[in-house]
Amino acid sequence: MSRKQPPAEAKAGRKKRSAGPPGPDFGDVIWVCRRLAAALQDGATILHAVDSILAEAPAGPKSLLGAMRGNLVTEATVARGLISLVPSFVWGTMLSGELYGAPGPALTKLADRLAAEREVTGPADPVLRDYSFALGRLGLMLQVRVSVLQALESVAESASTADVRETLLAAAEGVRAGADLSDALARVAADLPSDAVEMIRDGERSGRLPDALPIVADYLMDEAGQESQRGE
Instruction: Report d(CA 225, CA 42) in Å as an integer.
Output: 36
The answer on 186 and 131 residing in a single domain is yes
The answer on 30 and 116 residing in a single domain is yes
Q: Is the pLDDT of residue 31 over 50?
A: yes
For position 45, which CATH number holds? 1.20.81
Asked whether residue 140 is domain-assigned, the answer is yes
Q: Is the pLDDT of residue 75 over 60?
A: no
Residue 64 has, within 13 A of its CA and on its CB side, a CA count of 23
Q: Each residue of 159-215: pLDDT tens digit?
A: 878 889 999 999 999 999 999 999 999 999 988 999 999 999 999 999 999 989 988
Domain boundary among 121, 141, 165: 121
The answer on 168 and 106 residing in a single domain is no
The answer on 139 and 68 residing in a single domain is no
Domain boundary among 71, 105, 121: 121
- Which residue range(s) make up the domain with 201? 123-230
Whether the model clears a pTM of 0.75, i.e. scores above it, the answer is no
The answer on 30 and 99 residing in a single domain is yes
Instruction: Determine the number of helices (DSSP H) and then strands (DSSP E) in the chain.
Output: 13, 0
pLDDT score, position 209: 94
Q: Is the pLDDT of residue 8 over 80?
A: no
Instruction: Report d(CA 154, CA 104) in Å as an integer.
Output: 28
Q: Each residue of 57-66: pLDDT tens digit?
A: 998 888 878 7
Answer for the pair 65, 57: CB distance below 8 angstroms, yes or no: yes
Domain boundary among 89, 121, 153: 121
Q: Is the pLDDT of residue 225 over 50?
A: yes
Could you tell me the end-to-end alpha-carbon distance of the chain, in angstroms, rounded to an integer? Answer: 18
- Residue 150: CB atoms within 10 Å: 13
pLDDT score, position 208: 93
Residue 232 CB partners (closer than 8 Å, separation 6+): none
Q: Each residue of 109-160: pLDDT tens digit?
A: 777 767 766 665 555 677 888 888 888 888 878 887 889 999 999 888 878 7
Q: What is the DSSP string of 86-125?
A: S-GGGIIIIITTHHHH-HHHHHHHHHHHHHHHHHHH-S--
The answer on 128 and 115 residing in a single domain is no
Asked whether residue 190 is domain-assigned, the answer is yes
How many structural domains are present in the chain? Answer: 2
pLDDT score, position 10: 42
